[in-house]
């Protein structure tokens, strides 16, 4: 009976650690995506020179850092035209997951900006 009980306790321990690991990784994924969303929105507005903002990549980097992630890339060229434009931001976070150690979790987001709407046209 003691051997069976030890087996059940070991199995429950594995399940608890696996669940905690998945929870930590999922939470980091959500946070990385939130940082990417915020960075993409900030960069999208900055692609139009008339907004008076920094470069789109600097805007994205600042917002992503405030959200606890690192900017991996920002496809966000400046465009003086009044056309709708889209930006793509990729972020990363390093999180310590029990048993697996440090994992890099990525987040991706795309945002559009229409300067005509911003200018009220």
Q: How many domains does the chain have?
A: 1
Task: Tell me the pLDDT tens digit for each residue of 84-106.
Answer: 999 999 999 999 887 778 889 99
Whole-structure pTM value: 0.82
Range of the domain at 79: 2-119
* d(C-alpha 17, C-alpha 45), whole Å: 43
Local confidence band at 117 (pLDDT 50, 70, 90 cut-offs): confident
Task: Tell me the pLDDT tens digit for each residue of 28-74.
Answer: 899 999 999 999 999 998 998 877 778 899 999 999 999 999 999 99
């Amino acid at each position: 009976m003691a051997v069976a009980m030890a087996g059940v306790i070991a199995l429950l321990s594995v399940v608890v650690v696996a669940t905690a690991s998945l929870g930590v990784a999922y939470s980091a994924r959500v946070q990385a995506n939130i940082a990417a969303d915020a960075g993409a929105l900030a960069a999208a507005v900055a692609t139009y020179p008339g907004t008076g903002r920094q470069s789109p990549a600097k805007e994205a980097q600042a917002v992503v850092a405030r959200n606890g992630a690192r900017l991996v890339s920002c496809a966000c060229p400046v465009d003086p035209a009044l056309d709708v434009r889209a930006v793509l931001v990729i972020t990363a976070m390093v999180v310590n997951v029990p048993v697996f150690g440090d994992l890099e979790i990525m987040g991706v987001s795309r945002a559009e900006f229409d300067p005509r709407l911003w200018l009220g046209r």
